[in-house]
Structure 1
Amino acid sequence: MAGRVFAITGASGALGSAVAKAVVGQGCRVALIDHVHDTPHGLADGDDVLILGGVDLTDAESAKAAIDAAAARFGGLDAVLNIAGGFAWEKVEGGDAETWRKLFRLNVETAANVCRAAIPHLKRSKAGRIVNVGANGAVKAALGMGAYAASKAGVHRLTEALAEELKGSGVTVNAVLPSIIDTPANRADLPKADFATWVTPQELTAVMLFLAGEQASAVTGALIPVTGRV
């Protein structure tokens, strides 16, 4: 992994921070992309870290500018980890149509815009990788999960379509499908849950980094459940 160049979206969140720290810890160079200006604790802009805050990934031109900046800074791009996204629990009855549009933009359009911008750079890598974050909850939607599940199902289909499109190019495209991730926000929302059954950010990170590594060349178009002990 040492020396590989990563672009990580949603880098300031709980999962994004865990992934960013692990990537840097393995000697990679990384661009941390987010709509906010916060950065993972302990990671500062430097020779191996490029921080790109204030980026609206729902805008294709903004996404392209960020990806191009990362490739220019490090002389190329080897892997994209699409972690940026959003969540909302809302029933269809009495719900807001805007919730569906918002989650589509946050989960599907962000990933599609980043992938579209990154593909030319990834094709020049000897082992280009795209890893998206889908959701196990999009395999079968639960109560109040219609809009979220529909948007994450869109990420799954995007992953499969891109994998087929890029076969033979050396670029693989896969997605991880976590259940509930053990984050402070999720603990606050579900205080009576058994946290021990949830997936930790570190566990999910390990799977994502395998898929982003050179050794995962035979895996593409996979939707991999990472569901912990649920």
Structure 2
Amino acid sequence: MSSSEAPSLENQSIIVTGAAAGLGLAAGELLAKRGAAVTLVDLNTAKVEAEAKRMADAGLNVDAQVVDLTDRDEVQGLMDGVAQRYGRIDGLVNLAALYQPCEISEMSVEFWHRIVQSSLDSTFFTCQAALPHMTKAGYGRIVNTSSGVVLMGGAGWGAYCAAKAGVIGFTRVLAREAGPAGITANVIMPGLIATEHALETLDEQAIQVTTAMQCVPRLGEPDDIAHPIAFLLSREAGFISGQTINVGGGMNYL
């Protein structure tokens, strides 16, 4: 599909979390290229501001916001500020997460809470704070993020799997509750994607074993995730809600 044939996001106000690198950066840039006014959100001030400047210098409509997504008040301020600036919030993409392994037998309560807060609590806070603005407009698109690790049950990923499985259940309920207001909510479930952080975490053998189990035997690229996100944010995706879209190269988890 060429850019001229792709669903337009012209003049849409879209918030992307975890946008300083990896999947969030790829999604934010693609959405801006599709015509959206994109608010890039991250806790890494230097990176998110540098990426926003790079995109703005290329003529894209982007803004950087540094927000602790585990702080409910900061999240509320973010949503209210974006709604005031653009007049509405059309789309929300939750890609922020901590990707850290730890076996259950060695896991501290503090580690558990940190991982769950970064993926599940932040998703709850952002969705809840965006809902009134979307409901008022009678329109909204929400895309949350799970992980193929949820289906695989990889050793060392107990807290991460629990949080990402929670995102799926939460989003199904959100879709049911928000649907009458014209809001859709879906989940993207990425497989093994060649982000800098993932490549640092996994060794070459793990990558080879994983890709060999896929129908498409290669590492995914961040754009492989960004494109389905862009579609789910479009008006053309208005009859898709409460779904989990597995984007993992046809991985067989059984």
Same fold per superposition (TM over 0.5): yes
Residue 198 (structure 1) aligns with: 219
AA aligned opposite 2:232: L
Structure 1 Cα separation of the partners of residues 198 and 72 of structure 2: 30
Secondary structure of the corresponding residue to residue 154 of structure 2: coil
Q: Offset of 1:188 from its aligned partner?
A: 2.8
Runs ≥4 residues deviating over 3 A: 44-47, 124-127
Aligned-residue offset at 1:120: 1.1
Query: 1:98 & 1:80 partners in 2: Cα distance?
Result: 28
1:48 to 61, 80, 85: 61
Query: Which residue identity is paired with 1:228?
Result: G
Residue in structure 2 matched with residue 67 of structure 1 by the alignment? 79
Match of 1:13 in 2: 21
Q: 1:110 to 1:8 in 2, by over 3 A?
A: same
Task: Write the mapping of 1:123-138 to structure 2, written as runs, cut at 5 A.
Answer: 123-125=135-137, 127-138=139-150
Match of 2:165 in 1: 153
Is the Cα–Cα contact under 8 Å of residues 33 and 60 in structure 2 kept in the other structure?
no
Displacement of 1:140 in angstroms is 4.0
Summarize the Cα distance change of 1:78–1:115 in structure 2 as closer, same or farther, 3 Å threshold.
same
Alignment TM-score, normalising by the size of structure 2: 0.85
Equivalent residue for 2:5? Answer: none
Asked if residue 122 in structure 1 is aligned to residue 134 in structure 2, the reply is yes
Q: Deviations over 1:123-167 (max 9, x none)?
A: 234531000011111134121111110011111111111011112
Q: Specify the alignment match of 1:211 in structure 2.
A: 232
2: CA distance, partners of 1:221 / 1:151: 17
Distance between the aligned counterparts of 1:135 and 1:70, measured in 2? Answer: 28
DSSP-derived class of the 2:180 partner: coil
For 1:62 and 1:19, locate their aligned partners in 2 and report how far apart those are by CA, in whole Å: 23
Measure, in 2, the Cα distance between the counterparts of 1:178 and 1:210: 15
Shift of 1:47: 8.6
User: 2:244, 2:191 → 1: CA distance?
Assistant: 13
SS at 2:231 equivalent: helix
Q: Which amino acid aligns with 1:224?
A: I
Q: Which amino acid aligns with 1:5?
A: S
Q: Deviations over 1:160-188 (max 9, x none)?
A: 11011112110000000111211122223
Larger helix percent? 2
Q: Which amino acid aligns with 1:70?
A: V
Could you tell me how far apart the structure 2 residues matched to 1:7 and 1:220 are?
19
For structure 1, list consecutive stretches of 5 or more residues without a partner in the other structure.
none
Partner of 1:32: 40
Aligned residues: 229
The gaps in structure 2 that reach 5 residues or longer are 1-8, 212-216
- Deviation string, structure 1 residues 77-104 (Cα, Å, up to 9, x no partner): 1000011111221111122222211111
Instruction: Report the CA distance between 1:191 and its aligned residue.
Output: 4.2
* Percent of aligned pairs with the same amino acid: 29
- Distance in 1 of aligned mates of 2:237 and 2:30: 18
Work out whether residues 120 and 167 of structure 2, in 8 Å CA contact, stay in contact via their aligned partners in 1. Answer: yes
What's the RMSD between the two structures over aligned residues? 1.8
Counterpart Cα distance in 2 of 1:21 and 1:142: 31
Contact 2:139 2:181 in 1 (8 A): no
Contact 1:127 1:214 in 2 (8 A): no
